[in-house]
Amino acid sequence: MNNMDWAIEDNFLSKNFEFSNSSKAMKFINDATVLAVDNKQDPDIHIYSERFVSIKIPIKNNSSISENEIRLANLINRIG
């Protein structure tokens, strides 16, 4: 899975990210959104407590994680 540190929860790959301030968290959200659109994925992205971001990538095939979902998770890890 290429160093996957994402949890599998209720048919989602999920991970929380922490940033030093809200500006960095918002930049991360914008960059992650661009990656999601480019990879034809539709993750749930939430910011909370100003500098924490939660991302959940839906697992479209309920029984297995696709290469596209893994690719997006790895790309998001690179910018996180």
DSSP notation for 28-63 = HHHHHHHHHHHTT---EEEEETTTEEEEEEE-SSTT
pLDDT at 61 (0 to 100): 83
pLDDT band at 62 (very low <50, low <70, confident <90, very high): confident
**Amino acid 1: pLDDT:** 44
* Residue 3 confidence (pLDDT): 54
Which of the 8 DSSP states describes residue 10? T
User: Dihedral of CA 80/11/40/43: which sign?
Assistant: negative
Q: How far apart are CA 1 and CA 24, in angstroms?
A: 27
Decide if pLDDT at 73 tops 60. yes
pLDDT tens per residue, range 1-54: 455 799 999 899 999 999 999 999 999 999 999 999 999 999 999 999 999 999
What was the pLDDT predicted at 57?
97
The type of residue at 31 is D
Q: Which CATH superfamily is domain 7-79 in?
A: Transcriptional coactivator/pterin dehydratase (3.30.1360.20)
